[in-house]
Amino acid sequence: MLPTQGRAIAIVGAGFSGSLLALHLLRRCAPDDRILLIERNQRFGLGLAYSTGNPNHLLNVRAGNMSAFSDQPDHFVQWLRSLPAEMRATLPDDPGPNSFVPRGLFGRYVQQLLGDRIWRQGNDRNLFLVNDEAVAMHRQQDGWSVELAVGRKLPVDQAVLAIGNFPPRRSQPGYFGDPWAERALANLNSDAPVLLIGTGLTMIDTVISLLDQGHRGPIHAVSRRGLLPQRHGAVAQAWRFAKLPQGASLCRLLRDVRAAIREAASENINWRAVIDGLRPYTQRLWREMPIGERQRFLRHLRPWWDVHRHRAAPRIDSRIQEARERGQLRIAAARIGRIEHCIETVQVTLTARHGDRSVLNVNRVIDCSGLQSDLAKIDGPLIRQLLDAGHIRADALRLGIDIADGGAAINTAGERHADLFAIGPMTKGASWEITAVPDIRLACEELAARLLILPATQAPPPSSSADILPFDPPARPQRAR
């Protein structure tokens, strides 16, 4: 039984966003407050991005930018350095701030932070790990009742949706709508041709997995423009804009960024520094953009932005280029038409950018077109129920859940909730740049401060490398099912 005194906050989803928010709440909560971290998967702290077991799925962000705590930028690097020598030896290079390390290892880091906190504060004192799916939320006089798949209802004062990333579509015979599901690559004849829809980082992950499992057959990857993520370059200081960029006009912003790239080039500074220099302003620029400008950005510029902003680790990019050079990986710019499954083959109609139609015969199609953020197309009971009850609504651009400043969810009547919040990639309609760790960790710190208006004194995060515990499997979660 959960104790009933104090405040109770439910966090639905224990990927990076939910786990980090829980850690920040624990720093601020009173002794009898309860944080219920609800996760449908057995492993807490990983989420979609960091649950990969493939050591060749690397972070696409340098380790030096992946600390869980914005006030301790080298926390993750220190943790990497504290790993036992035999684990460090399995890393691609000596871990430092510029390394690109396996994503699974970052998941272990988050898990250990959670385990460490449970160990310091006691299993069932303030943090309760609830291993079940939240399927509905019912409005109570004060707060919410969170219904679990098992049928139990948890009464809470406040709730946060940290439900993260959803796969593109439902699977059908010959077509795999979830590229991260194990079965997408299972039982595949290694000489068979495969079609990957999309040419971004998800496609890259899937190609790496195919190569790692010894795939020899042709891999076709198709997207409207056929653009591939750029490769990370040498470490460079982010460009400092002489005049702060403004978001009111997209054309103007584009002109300013292009001018900065030309100016940087004249000083032998790479375009990457300019894109990185935009990072501190991206959320403000997005908020300044009128809705029509945001729509134009999504229609015309997004693919270009994505491949320049979300870059691939050099070692991964080299493998992709090698696969292209030997003709195994074939990238094309085309629109996907009909997909027809017939016994062993799938026939896919493609329309190239110049209008030519062709038919591609492959053994299977894997959708790597990116994450599904249109709430109407997401197939989860909680989202369905929250939408049907009018508790949440999609943002105007259908990029996720509509929120107000500060993360409060907005209901179908356009009113902001005082006790229901959302955090993470599903809130990108409000701030666009909220999918990667550096932005999410700030949002978690801010939301924790808003939810529990207490100074952060209870249990500060480790303040020096000496406080980082040696690597250890995370503590066994307390289950409150």
Ligand X SMILES: Cc1cc2nc3c(=O)[nH]c(=O)nc-3n(C[C@H](O)[C@H](O)[C@H](O)COP(=O)(O)OP(=O)(O)OC[C@H]3O[C@@H](n4cnc5c(N)ncnc54)[C@H](O)[C@@H]3O)c2cc1C
The site for ligand X (CB under 6 A) is made up of: 12-18, 38-41, 47-49, 59-61, 103, 133-134, 162-165, 205, 380, 382, 424-425, 435-437, 440
C-alpha torsion 427→432→437→439, nearest 10:
-100
Nearer to ligand X, 53 or 84 (CB): 53
Strand partners, 129: 37, 479
Strands (E), 343-461: 345-352, 357-362, 364-367, 408-410, 416-422
Nearer to ligand X, 159 or 260 (CB): 159
92, burial (CB in 10 Å: exposed 0-12, middle 13-18, buried 19+): middle
Q: SS in 3 state form for 79-131?
A: HHHCCCHHHHCCCCCCCCCCCCCEHHHHHHHHHHHHHHHHHHHCCCCCEEEEE
Nearer to ligand X, 203 or 410 (CB): 203
Residue 84 CB, shortest distance to ligand X, in Å, is: 23
Nearest to 224 by CA among 242, 199, 206: 199
Residue 66 CB, shortest distance to ligand X, in Å, is: 6
For CA atoms 87, 90, 94, 96, the dihedral sign is negative
Nearer to ligand X, 174 or 229 (CB): 229
Residue 70 CB, shortest distance to ligand X, in Å, is: 13
* Segment (H or E) for 28: helix 16-28
Nearer to ligand X, 380 or 462 (CB): 380
Nearer to ligand X, 260 or 408 (CB): 408
Residue 400 CB, shortest distance to ligand X, in Å, is: 11
Nearer to ligand X, 40 or 220 (CB): 40
Residue 414, number of CB atoms within 10 A of its CB:
9
Nearest to 40 by CA among 205, 162, 122, 159: 162
Distance CA 364, CA 346 (A): 6
144, burial (CB in 10 Å: exposed 0-12, middle 13-18, buried 19+): buried
Nearer to ligand X, 312 or 452 (CB): 312
Residue 41 CB, shortest distance to ligand X, in Å, is: 5
Residue 445 CB, shortest distance to ligand X, in Å, is: 15
Q: What angle do CA 33, 39, 44 make, to 5 degrees?
A: 90
Residue 17 CB, shortest distance to ligand X, in Å, is: 3
Q: Tokens standing for 116?
A: 């460490």
Residue 161 CB, shortest distance to ligand X, in Å, is: 8
